[in-house]
Amino acid sequence: MRSDAVTPRATPTLKSAYPQLVPLSTRWSDNDAYGHLNNVIYYSLFDTAVNRHLLDHGVLDIANSPVVGLVIETRCTYFASLAYPDAIEVGLKVVRLGNSSVTYEVAIFRADQDRAAAVGAFTHVYVDRVSNRPARIPEPVRVLLSTLVAGPAA
Amino acid sequence: MRSDAVTPRATPTLKSAYPQLVPLSTRWSDNDAYGHLNNVIYYSLFDTAVNRHLLDHGVLDIANSPVVGLVIETRCTYFASLAYPDAIEVGLKVVRLGNSSVTYEVAIFRADQDRAAAVGAFTHVYVDRVSNRPARIPEPVRVLLSTLVAGPAA
Amino acid sequence: MRSDAVTPRATPTLKSAYPQLVPLSTRWSDNDAYGHLNNVIYYSLFDTAVNRHLLDHGVLDIANSPVVGLVIETRCTYFASLAYPDAIEVGLKVVRLGNSSVTYEVAIFRADQDRAAAVGAFTHVYVDRVSNRPARIPEPVRVLLSTLVAGPAA
Amino acid sequence: MRSDAVTPRATPTLKSAYPQLVPLSTRWSDNDAYGHLNNVIYYSLFDTAVNRHLLDHGVLDIANSPVVGLVIETRCTYFASLAYPDAIEVGLKVVRLGNSSVTYEVAIFRADQDRAAAVGAFTHVYVDRVSNRPARIPEPVRVLLSTLVAGPAA
């Protein structure tokens, strides 16, 4: 939903700005009473894409990893409406890689459009699964995340 | 999930900071693979509470209102874990009331705790339902929102 | 949604048919593109109510119980539409209590109506959390479930 | 979750039993506190697949069709666990095609497995969008559904 009424804190980005694009499908139940993807669903697409990138590269084991990423901050700015049955691509980029936390810039694209429908941020802090205390990002995760820090793929 | 690893952009607030508290229940399916309320659910509680306040006061008719609020920006900072079957209260406060948009500060509390588990922001821009263009916030809505601008209830 | 076009396999029941009623709230995102509670949400209300009854009576510890109930069969017949922000009550009754499985009759009521909007069934088989093999229903659970086998509360 | 403890009312079918398979993705938030796809999600996959088949073939316009399908009965029997990030395929078959209602057999497969993880049924009754009264299934819909009545594709 584009609006001149407010000063957006983000602007719609292009797919080329993201080193990684994760394809996802929408669901009938994603549409709300106004017939568009409910704003909440975008966040579900964000954490699905982030975790899938980690899982696809073998650096996260949901049931067993001793150190896991917990979400401590997210945000999203919405530019255009989406609706089931739109096919989606989620853009991933790492904008801050600390000792125990990582912040991704995330963007939601309709698969057939180059301009983002929404742009957000997603911060994981890594914690020990048992003690719940911050822990250093595991080396295999860090190596993978480093590849998302750079600019877009050639 | 409290962490010293990052500088949070918000701090946990108290219930007394909010003129309105909306009680909501959690669901079994809200818990994720780590056994806590999934981060996405907080946003569902946000827009449920905001819209319910409007509905309870008779200033929103989901099916018929000619001018409706569309979400253009949201964010959330997480301080502590919650889990089904926790009972929840959502704090509502208006921090910016413009001509066609309103930003709420929203907070998620466990019903039996005074300190917020999460604090966020939620911005509605009002648009004409047919043209999708920004519209002036309807007067009955504005009157209601004005009561949330002030500080906490006495 | 009542229809004469099909022979329903269930008929709308009354609240008095259920020994236990669990109050739950609806969410903005529950409404689908047709403006009514999405059919999927009813199942979320079912397992929320069943598990909450177990949790409220201290016979289920989601993180630690060695024997847990897994869902092996559910069904629902829909009689009338509901919509956020309706307040809900879920009726619970045990219709079959076996060695390792239990089948509940479940019903969704609008809080202010006595006639069910939907009636369904929900079957848990109890399994060992580690081996995933069927296990005898733990005695404290069985005692609690027995109280739901009888007719409605006086 | 396979169990000998109860007599299942359905048995796991094979992909070849379905004239249509719809590929869908899972989401992080689909996993519940036991680390598996929550039972509710299967129903979301059912109605996503059914409606997408109608949309892909141009016989449903969510916002404008004068006659729409409302869900009046669903059920599901669960045979095996699934978990995000599994890729899914939903099998669709029409088992009853009436004047104003249609019942699909639906099945959930892991994309890389041939045996169903769950088998269910899904009944739509077609109603006039305004009056909410049963209506004859529109001819283009009926023609499409007829192609799902037959056995599997050659």
Q: What is the pLDDT along chain C (154 residues), one digit of tens a residue?
A: 333 334 445 689 999 999 999 999 999 999 998 889 999 999 999 999 999 999 999 999 988 999 999 999 999 999 999 999 999 999 999 999 999 999 999 999 999 999 999 999 999 999 999 898 999 999 999 999 999 996 544 4
**Residue C69 to residues C24, C30, C124, C135, Cα–Cα distance (Å):** 21, 26, 5, 10
| Beta carbons of D97 and D142 less than 8 angstroms apart | yes
Cis peptide leading into D12, omega within 30 of 0?
Answer: no
Residue A153 has phi, psi (to 5 degrees) of -60, 150
Contacts of B123 in chain A (CB under 8 A): 6
Half-sphere exposure of C88 (CA within 13 A, CB side): 28
Residue among C22, C27, C108 with most chain B CBs within 10 A, to mutate: C27
Residues D88 and D45 sit within 8 Å (Cβ to Cβ): yes
Whether residue C152 has a cis bond before it, omega within 30° of 0: no
Tell me the whole-structure pTM to 2 decimals: 0.91
**CB–CB contacts below 8 A, A to D:** 57
Alpha-carbon distance of B5 to D17, in angstroms, equals 53
Count the neighbouring beta carbons within 10 Å of the beta carbon of residue C147.
13
Give the mean model confidence (pLDDT) for residues B68-89. 96
ipTM greater than cut 0.85: yes
On the question of pLDDT at A11 being above 90, the answer is no
Answer whether D5 sits within 8 Å of C74, measured CB to CB. no
Q: How many Å apart are CA A5 and CA C142, to the nearest integer?
A: 59
pLDDT value at position A150? 65
The pLDDT of residue A102:
97
Mean pLDDT confidence for B16-41: 95
Who among C28, C31, C32 is closest to A28 (CB)? Answer: C32
CA dihedral C150, D1, D4, D7 (to 10 degrees): 60
**Chain B residues close to C45, C-beta within 8 Å:** 27
Name subunits touching B (3+ CB pairs < 8 A).
A, C, D
C132 Ramachandran zone, left/alpha/beta (phi>0; psi -120 to 50): left
Q: Does the CB of C38 have a partner CB in chain A at under 8 Å?
A: yes
Return d(Cα A140, Cα A57) in angstroms, integer: 9
Can you list the residues of chain D whose pLDDT is less than 70? 1-10, 150-154
For position D9, what pLDDT does the model report?
Answer: 54
Residues of B in contact with D38 (CB under 8 A): 28-29
Q: Which residue has the higher pLDDT, A119 or C152?
A: A119
The predicted-structure confidence for B124-154, as pLDDT tens digits, reads as follows 999 999 898 999 999 999 999 999 996 544 4
What span, in angstroms and rounded, lies between the C-alpha atoms of D62 and B132? Answer: 18
Q: What's the pLDDT at B8?
A: 46
Q: B124 forms bridges with which residues in the sheet? A: B71, B102
Which residues, 6+ apart, have CB-to-CB distance to A69 below 8 Å? Answer: A51, A54, A60, A102, A124, A125, A126, A127
Q: Which of D2, D4, D6 should be substituted to probe chain C, the one whose Cβ sees the most C Cβ atoms within 10 Å?
A: D6
d(CA B106, CA B52) in angstroms, rounded, equals 13
Chain B residues within an 8 Å CB radius of C83: 62
pLDDT of residue D116: 98
Residues of A in contact with B47 (CB under 8 A): 38-40
Place B73 in a pLDDT band, splitting at 50, 70 and 90: very high
Q: Is B40 on the interface with D (CB under 8 A)?
A: yes
The CATH superfamily label for domain D16-146 reads Hotdog Thioesterase (3.10.129.10)
User: If you average pLDDT over residues A79-87, what whole number do you get?
Assistant: 96
